[in-house]
Amino acid sequence: MAADDQADTPPLGPSVELDGHPVLTGSCAWTEKTLVEESDWYPRRTMSAEERLRYYASQFPLTEIDSTYYAPPAEQQARRWAERTPDGFRFDVKAYSLLTGHPTRPRTLWADLREQLPPDVAAKRNVYANHLDPEALDEAWRRFEAALRPLHEAGRLGSVLFQYPPWFTPRRENRKEVERLRERIPDYLVAVEFRSPLWLAEERDRRRTLELLDEHELVFVCVDAPAVSGLPRILAVTNDELFLMRFHGRSDSTWKDTSRSAAERFRYLYSPEELEELARPLAETARQARETHLLMNNCYRDYAVRDAAELRDLLAADAA
């Protein structure tokens, strides 16, 4: 890091220590449009992207990068993220949609891989991993992993988050796909979030799923989600390195409404009572992992940053 960058590096936002186990809270998006344009959380509306990240890092030690879901990052961008944040800051990075079975816009593929697509496939609105030949798909995995290397080498990479869609159910081939994650991303912490309730529906399903993740040293992503999602709130640590939980709000009416923006879908402000109810079990589980990441995905205006700060204060009171 250049001397000027070091001089400009912000102080690290506060975290909590529970019996020597650091607990980091933060928002799943520091650049979300409604946060930037419709709230006064940032000191100025005219801040540059660099200034916003530096300011955010002075308030929280953790964030999630979700732009990497929509298009793969470049190494240069990952290097800039590392340079603009202080030591101890963590980025949890969402895996590229192509790698988790989601529809992917062809234009987001690397140019040379896109050129290998058959013309009828390249003309589609969306492509999927099975549209690429095996060698091209392997190359996509390699490039995604390589792009995150600057974050990893700077000590900023928390985990790589693989969020699987609702149609990714616990069939044999999907279990095999999860088992291969450590082979494909061997050097980074890999976290898995299932959006299909079938992975966790019954006690037997839960046990089998958690055992699968534990066996392959994968981090189970706990969620707090609307009841209509069918996703149970299970607090579990399957890799001693990290306990990771994402808070999606509790808005039943918008959970499945993909016509809305992400901010509108997850528009929900947790009440102090709801956060207080969560704080004690979270503190107990956090003591089972080397580090804990608690990420607010209710990224509408300043809802996520407000809830992240309030939850941090509640956990700090538990530690006192």
pLDDT given at position 8 = 65
Average pLDDT of the segment spanning 211-221: 98
pLDDT given at position 262 = 86
- Model confidence over 42-51: pLDDT tens digits? 999 999 999 9
- Model confidence over 8-31: pLDDT tens digits? 667 999 999 999 999 999 999 999
- Model confidence over 255-280: pLDDT tens digits? 988 888 888 899 999 999 999 999 99
pLDDT given at position 318 = 79
Percent of the chain with pLDDT over 70: 97
pLDDT given at position 3 = 43
Q: Is the pLDDT of residue 203 over 50?
A: yes
* Three-state SS at 35: helix
Q: Is the pLDDT of residue 172 over 50?
A: yes
Average pLDDT of the segment spanning 201-225: 97
Spacing of C-alpha 213 from chain mean position: 17
Helix crossing, 75-83 with 134-147: angle to 10°?
20
- Model confidence over 90-111: pLDDT tens digits? 999 999 999 999 999 999 999 9
Q: Is the pLDDT of residue 82 over 60?
A: yes
- The rounded distance, in Å, linking the Cα atoms of 117 and 180 is 24
- Model confidence over 114-136: pLDDT tens digits? 999 999 999 999 999 999 999 99
DSSP code of residue 85 = S
Question: Contacts by 109-115 with C-beta closer than 8 Å and gap 24+?
Answer: 109/140, 110/72, 110/140, 110/143, 113/139, 113/140
Q: How far is CA 26 from CA 72, 172, 294, 318, in A?
A: 23, 35, 6, 18
Q: Report phi then psi at 46, rounded to 5.
A: -90, 10
- The rounded distance, in Å, linking the Cα atoms of 123 and 255 is 30
The residue with tokens 């044999």 is 172
Q: Is the pLDDT of residue 1 over 90?
A: no
